[in-house]
Chain A
Amino acid sequence: GENVEQHPSTLSVQEGDSAVIKCTYSDSASNYFPWYKQELGKGPQLIIDIRSNVGEKKDQRIAVTLNKTAKHFSLHITETQPEDSAVYFCAAEPQTGANNLFFGTGTRLTVIP
């Protein structure tokens, strides 16, 4: 099955700096890659996603890049703000028809004011 690895597990940045979180996946058939933000005690919220026919996608301060050849994808947050502090999860969905997501282990991002 699919295996998703996520790095780093913790990340601290100064407010205004950029943050980058990286994930690798094992199944070359995976074609959908969402990123979720989870605040303490809450359910994950989708913040951005990308499909395998696209190399990069942006939404204001958030961007995701995908390298299908290397089987890795990254989340980029620019101009970080204290409210960006949370746990971020990447996921991959193999093209099996079951629509099952395989998640990374999460990155705890802390933005220092």
Chain B
Amino acid sequence: DGGITQSPKYLFRKEGQNVTLSCEQNLNHDAMYWYRQDPGQGLRLIYYSQIVNDFQKGDIAEGYSVSREKKESFPLTVTSAQKNPTAFYLCATQGLSTDTQYFGPGTRLTVL
């Protein structure tokens, strides 16, 4: 984890509500990623950002939105348009000169 914080650790949401997951890093990494993890499945990419004020859709971006106003922060909003949002959400970062992605501790979102 070291240097990447995700909050909250657990989040409960009622249907129809938007919620925002926080991801902060002090590694000075340029790239940041959001993944979704469901039981028995691999990690699937939601959004990624390689520089401030720019981001790209991943494989499952529908129902999610992001912003990258600061290098250190890459919040993810799960909107009411996401039909099945209950999952474990992981944020990752990557430096410019490396292929390695480092993961945060994750946020478990449950829709009630």
Contact = CB atoms under 8 A, between A and B. Distances in A.
B100 interface: yes
B85 interface: no
Contacts of A46: 100-102
Interface residues of B, number: 27
Contacts of B101: 34, 46, 99, 101
Contact of A4 (B40, B42, B48, B102): B42
Interface string B80-112: 000000000010001000011111111010000
A18 interface: no
Contact of B99 (A4, A44, A49): A49
Contacts of A101: 43, 45, 101
B3 to A, nearest CB: 12
A86 B50 CA distance: 30
Interface in A10-35: 32, 34
A7 to B, nearest CB: 13
Contacts of A1: 59
A34 B48 contact: no
A44 B94 CA distance: 14
Given A43-B106, A44-B90, A99 B42 contact: no
Interface in B22-58: 31, 33, 40-45, 48, 50, 56, 58
B1 interface: yes
A43 B105 CA distance: 4
A71 to B, nearest CB: 17
A16 to B, nearest CB: 28
A99 B30 CA distance: 12
